[in-house]
Amino acid sequence: MKQFTLNLRGTLHSYTRPLVMGIINATPDSFYAGSRAADADAVARRAAEMAAAGADMIDVGACSTRPGAATPDAAEELERLAPAIEAIRRAAPGLPVSVDTFRAEVARRAVTEFGADMVNDVSGGNLDPDMFDTVAELQVPYILGHMRGTPDTMQEYCTYEHVTRDVLSELGDRLQELALMGVADVIIDPCFGFSKTLDQNYQLLADLQLFELFHRPVLVGFSRKSMITKLLDVDAEHALNGTTVLNTLALDRGAAILRVHDVAEARQAVTIWEKCKTFKM
């Protein structure tokens, strides 16, 4: 990865090593049960554990993007997020907090009222036309995801002429829009598992280094996903080893941020990868 900077609430942070982003889901129905936190106390415990394990930031969501999951309305999403972000701030006060949402109003209130530092939008602004205006106004780092359709319909939109080229093109168009609106801090997320088949996910991983053409940090999120469970014929509970393998391959292809359920193992992968980089192999 190349060195990058993020402006977090007026302070410019420079990063020279890959970061680990811990996942906390303030939802009852996220695909991996181990990521769910039922109340503020559970969120605080998970945040403290992640901080102790070496997390660099925490991503918190309150609306599952698992196909078939019930989608809460904005009011319910905000009702879940407010105590969750406060709990993270209390338990891990030094870590930046990213809010995982595709709704502009939820993003706005999470930043201005609850104290989130970043916005993580798997839809890349496609599910809420106000999202780009909102992040431009808030001037917070924005994780630009790639997804077609909605969480319920996304697997109906997996037809590409060439998956890597098409994803690069679609993200490039959105990135240009953001640049024209003055959004400077953009993190690119190819969104493995969203609107991609199993083979398309692995093609994207093989081509991950091509995303460096954007000159933006690249985030990857493989953690316990179906591209592991389907290939290995295991359930999410037994997908940690596969996750670590994919994270390590992604680091070697330029990934700057690993978004994971299991912080300690991801931190170990980064440490070993960094050590290997000091030698010719």
Give the residue numbers marked as catalytic.
Answer: 225, 259
Tell the burial category of 229 from Cβ atoms under 10 Å away from its Cβ (0-12, 13-18, 19+): middle
Residue 275: count other Cβ atoms within 10 Å of its Cβ: 9
Q: Rg for the chain (alpha carbons), in Å?
A: 17
Which helix (DSSP H) or strand (DSSP E) does residue 34 occupy?
Answer: none
HEC string of 157-207?
CCCCCCHHHHHHHHHHHHHHHHHHCCCCCEEEECCCCCCCCHHHHHHHHHC
Measure the CA–CA gap between 69 and 172, rounded to whole angstroms. Answer: 30
> 3-state DSSP call for residue 107?
helix
Angle at 236 between CA 231 and CA 240, to 5 degrees: 85
Token pair, residue 218, equals 């690249």
> Residue 175 corresponds to which amino acid?
L
Beta bridge partners of 7: 12
Residue 125: count other Cβ atoms within 10 Å of its Cβ: 21
CA distances from 205 to 14, 123, 235, 248 (A): 26, 19, 21, 11
Query: Please, are residues 255 and 276 in contact by the beta-carbon 8 Å criterion?
Result: no
